[in-house]
Amino acid sequence: MCRAVVSYCSPTRGLVTADPTFELAGRTAAWLGAPVNAVPLTPDYRHDVKAMVAANPNAGLFYICTPNNPTGTITPLADIEWLIANKPTDAMVLIDEAYTHFAGVPVASYLALQHKHVIVMRTFSKLFGMAGLRMGYIITQPANIQKMMRYDGGMQSGALPVTSIACATASLTAAPLIAARRKEMQVARGLTLDHLTAKGVTVFPTDANMFMIDWKTKQARDMQTAFRKESVEIGRSWPIWPTVSRVTVGSAAEMKAFCTALDKIIA
């Protein structure tokens, strides 16, 4: 992600992203001195691709996270296709599919094959729990890879530890395990969302291993503190939504503990 921003953004070629979304691309662009346009999501929590194109006619990179972090919502491939067709001619589109294994929806790989200005990014750190191994990959045209790797002669990818490569290779053959883990997550998520709905709590729709709760009259940071007192850790909020908390879906036992804490906090 950072390589894409550094390669395709500059003080004259900005980054266009969503708000809220994963912030690393925006932080990298700000460090680079590139303009950053953060466009609010649509009312149904998709990337507003038309507003994103309008936000900067000279953008160097558009960042799409789908399922989105923190909302867990999907931006339809038709919307992304529209963005590719209507963006500035030489601007890049970076599609971050870090959470796609949890969603089980059609993926954007074909767009990287059809269009030279598209990068699709995946990671093993979510469903497969390999965050510490720093394993991921991109799908894009060879020329884009060469441009993004020019800063270190390919060492960042060429010097991966054998343990990381072995684990990633094994996981590529684990399609049944992907389905089983997705099902386990969906069951735990469904029970939790049902509990929240029964309590009258506002929950956003989601297709990933996370969901957003709008506490309405309570600040998200205060609710995070309240849960911490019950030995349950929930996620943070984003500046655009100060009353909304991100909650990651854990095991069935962890989600039961979350619901028990919720019942104590919201009597």
The DSSP 8-state label assigned to residue 43 in this structure reads T
Task: Give helix 175-198 / helix 252-265 axis angle, nearest 10°.
Answer: 10
Distance CA 251, CA 255 (A): 6
DSSP 54-98: HH-TTEEEEEEESS-TTT-PPPPHHHHHHHHHHS-TT-EEEEE-T
Distance CA 51, CA 177 (A): 39
From 81, 54, 53, select the one nearest 66 (Cα to Cα): 81
Of 81-95, 163-177, 201-215, 246-260, the range with the lowest mean pLDDT is 163-177
* pLDDT (average), residues 119-139: 88
Residue 260 has pLDDT above 90, yes or no: yes
DSSP 239-250: TTBTTEEEEE--
Confidence band of 256 (pLDDT split at 50, 70, 90):
very high
Q: List 65's β-bridge partners, or say none.
A: 96
Phi, psi of 121 (to 5 degrees): -120, 135
* pLDDT (average), residues 115-123: 96
Residue 130 has pLDDT above 90, yes or no: no
Which pLDDT value is given to residue 159?
74
Burial 62-96 (b: 16+ CB within 10 A, else e): bbbbbbbbbbbbbbebebbbebbeebeeebbbbbb
Residue with tokens 């790797």, as numbered in its chain: 149
DSSP 115-148: -TTEEEEEESTTTT--GGGT-EEEE--HHHHHHH
Condensed to tens digits (0 to 9), the pLDDT of residues 198-244 reads 999 999 999 999 999 999 999 999 999 999 999 999 999 999 999 99
Which pLDDT value is given to residue 15?
98
Which pLDDT value is given to residue 204?
97
* pLDDT (average), residues 63-72: 98
* pLDDT (average), residues 184-205: 96
Distance CA 80, CA 96 (A): 12
Q: Which residues, other chains included, contact 231 with Cβ-Cβ below 8 Å and sequence gap of 6+? A: 257, 261
* pLDDT (average), residues 110-137: 90
CA distances from 128 to 57, 159, 199, 261 (A): 38, 21, 32, 28
Instruction: Give the residue, 54 or 135, on which the prediction is more confident.
Output: 54
Residue 157 has pLDDT above 90, yes or no: no
Which pLDDT value is given to residue 156?
64
Confidence band of 252 (pLDDT split at 50, 70, 90):
very high
